[in-house]
Amino acid sequence: MTRTLHVPIAERSYDVVIGDNLDLLALMQPLHLGSDWILLYDQVFETLADGQILHRIQQQLNNPRIFAIPSGETSKSLSNYSALAEEILQTRITRDTVVIALGGGIVGDLAGFLAASLLRGLRFVQLPTTLLAQVDSSVGGKVGINAKAGKNLVGAFHQPALVAADLSLLNSLPKREFSAGMAEVLKAALLADADFWCWLEDHADPINSRKRDTLEEMIARAVQIKADTVLADETERTGRRALLNLGHTFAHALEAATGYDARKLIHGEAVALGLVMAARLSKGINIDDTARIINLLQKVGLPTTTELELCPQALYELMLYDKKADHSGLKMVLLEHIGCAKVQPAPAPEDILAAITPSLKYRTLLFT
């Protein structure tokens, strides 16, 4: 069985299809998504399931031109983008060429930016393979790469023509990566849907055992929240889309402070810590609500405190550099209650520090 959600962004509308062993060609044909494809894939698929998944997609697409992307954030560099762009252009693409991304957020963001920029825009299809990519990064059209000055600073808004989220791909996902995706699911519920939050509390066990139907329901509900939020503010002008940054001002500071080192912290783990900090800082959230939030994050295998040695003041300074700190000052997404968030001017520095410190087991006094 498959489930289809429609994202109605005028002439850039598209479907998100959720199911098992999806027939890509059958999904693409009615959309007239061409016959000339380039496939960018996470290199892990050369070995995962003995390369069978990659092989099946190559067969379905009648041997498209393929480009392997090494796993890891370094693939989202400007230098890698430029090398790939040159390589792809050598293959004589046309405006009818369709870019297909098989992988997590790294491949999706990079392939999406190649699609947005090559020949001033090619259509592209997302085949998200991590939970984070299925519930978050593949939907909404933000694509981009990293610069020395920071993550995702070079990018575009470029909506996919189709997102095909294959649940069967999640079976091989390491537990740490699965939990990281759950941070974005919990974030979505916290910012927009109290019923969904209660549903997640009730379904933590089948989620952790990756029960197929539970995952389908959960992913569909999380995608719906992302799609609704994006629809209200496609290019982040009105502030509605900024709600998706709940917990992220803290998370980005934590990631920067740990040098984007995946051995120390991955994005979803930073988001989990950030959600707890945001909850502590939110006036509408009482101690019982904070305990509920911490409890569910922990149940799905996410950290709510860290043993990494970090300096609260240094984290606060990194938050000021976050891209939402414009000339009108730092803004933050805070909770009104579970299921509702608002963008607000940042509270006083001492309140922010008081929200950060309980999550740091080992605090350093100096910038590390």
Ligand X SMILES: NC(=O)c1ccc[n+]([C@@H]2O[C@H](COP(=O)([O-])OP(=O)(O)OC[C@H]3O[C@@H](n4cnc5c(N)ncnc54)[C@H](O)[C@@H]3O)[C@@H](O)[C@H]2O)c1
Count residues near ligand X (CB under 6 A).
28
Q: Tell me if 73 contacts ligand X by CB under 6 A.
A: yes
Binding region for ligand X (CB under 6 A) out of 69-77, 191-199, 227-235, 319-327 = 69-77
Backbone angles phi, psi at 34, to 5 degrees: 65, -170
Shortest spacing between CB 287 and ligand X, in angstroms = 30
Token pair listed for 234:
């496609």
Query: Which residues, including other chains, have CB under 8 Å from residue 357's CB and lie 6 or more apart?
Result: 312, 363
Question: Looking at beta carbons, which residue is closest to ligand X?
Answer: 105
Q: Tell me if 274 contacts ligand X by CB under 6 A.
A: no
d(CA 363, CA 308): 8
d(CA 38, CA 46): 16
Nearer Cβ to ligand X (244/294): 244
Shortest spacing between CB 71 and ligand X, in angstroms = 3
* Selected binder of ligand X within 136, 216, 217, 255 (CB under 6 A): 136
Shortest spacing between CB 348 and ligand X, in angstroms = 29
Binding region for ligand X (CB under 6 A) out of 57-65, 113-121, 125-133, 312-320 = 125-133
Listing from the earlier edge strand, what are the strands of the sheet with 65-69? Answer: 3-7, 14-19, 162-166, 123-128, 98-103, 37-42, 65-69
Apex CA 50: angle with CA 168 and CA 19, to 5°? Answer: 15
Q: Tell me if 18 contacts ligand X by CB under 6 A.
A: no
Q: Per CB under 6 A, which of residues 29..58 are in contact with ligand X?
A: 42, 44, 48
Nearer Cβ to ligand X (275/285): 275
Q: Which residues are catalytic?
A: 120, 142, 184, 226, 236, 241, 245, 248, 252, 267
Binding region for ligand X (CB under 6 A) out of 93-101, 134-142, 214-222, 323-331 = 134-142
- How many residues are present in the chain? 368
- The mark string for 149-178 relative to ligand X (x by CB under 6 A, - otherwise) is --xx----------------x--xx---x-
Q: Tell me if 180 contacts ligand X by CB under 6 A.
A: yes
Backbone angles phi, psi at 153, to 5 degrees: -85, -15
3-class secondary structure per residue, 54-79: HHHHHHHCCCCEEEEECCCHHHHEHH
* Selected binder of ligand X within 111, 114, 115, 142 (CB under 6 A): 142
Nearer Cβ to ligand X (118/352): 118
Q: Tell me if 129 contacts ligand X by CB under 6 A.
A: yes
d(CA 219, CA 290): 24
d(CA 84, CA 315): 35
Shortest spacing between CB 367 and ligand X, in angstroms = 24
Nearer Cβ to ligand X (137/359): 137
Nearer Cβ to ligand X (160/312): 160
Q: Tell me if 71 contacts ligand X by CB under 6 A.
A: yes
d(CA 113, CA 140): 13
Query: Which residues, including other chains, have CB under 8 Å from residue 32's CB and lie 6 or more apart?
Result: none
Q: Tell me if 103 contacts ligand X by CB under 6 A.
A: yes
CA torsion, ordered 240, 132, 38, 78, to nearest 10 deg: 70
Beta strands in the chain (DSSP E): 3-7, 14-19, 37-42, 65-69, 98-103, 123-128, 142-147, 150-157, 162-166, 331-337, 340-345
Shortest spacing between CB 212 and ligand X, in angstroms = 15
Backbone angles phi, psi at 108, to 5 degrees: -60, -45
Nearer Cβ to ligand X (18/360): 18
* Selected binder of ligand X within 137, 159, 245, 306 (CB under 6 A): 137
Residue 336: strand, helix, or coil: strand
* Selected binder of ligand X within 187, 221, 267, 331 (CB under 6 A): 267
In terms of Cα–Cα distance, which of 359, 243, 347, 238 is closest to 309?
359
Q: Tell me if 109 contacts ligand X by CB under 6 A.
A: yes
Using CB under 6 A, list all residues that contact ligand X.
Answer: 42, 44, 48, 71, 73, 76, 103-107, 109, 129-130, 132-133, 136-137, 140, 142, 151-152, 169, 172-173, 177, 180, 267
